[in-house]
Amino acid sequence: MLRAAHNGLCENMEGAAVARVCQEFAVPCLEVRCVSNMVEDRNPANWQLAAAVQKCGQVVSLLIDRLAPI
């Protein structure tokens, strides 16, 4: 229902909360997340946590290499 209503790919409540707090205090925020499972009835056997963690690490490594020093 939410996907159809908002054309969303995934949801992230935790990141939204962090971003809101950072906005309130004018703190820069960057969140990197990789999807490990599809929205379905809870079935951890279908989750791909190891692949998601590996991909997230690769993305963070690329970002660190390209970010300007603060």
CA atoms within 13 A on the CB side of 47: 11
Q: pLDDT by residue (tens digit) across 5-56?
A: 877 777 777 888 999 999 999 999 988 888 888 877 888 999 999 999 999 9
Sequence-distant (6+) residues with CB within 8 A of 1 are none
pLDDT at 7: 77
> Are 18 and 12 spatial neighbours (Cβ–Cβ below 8 Å)?
no
Amino acid code (one letter) for 42:
R
pLDDT at 70: 63
Residue numbers of the domain that contains 24: 2-66
Q: What domain count does the chain have?
A: 1
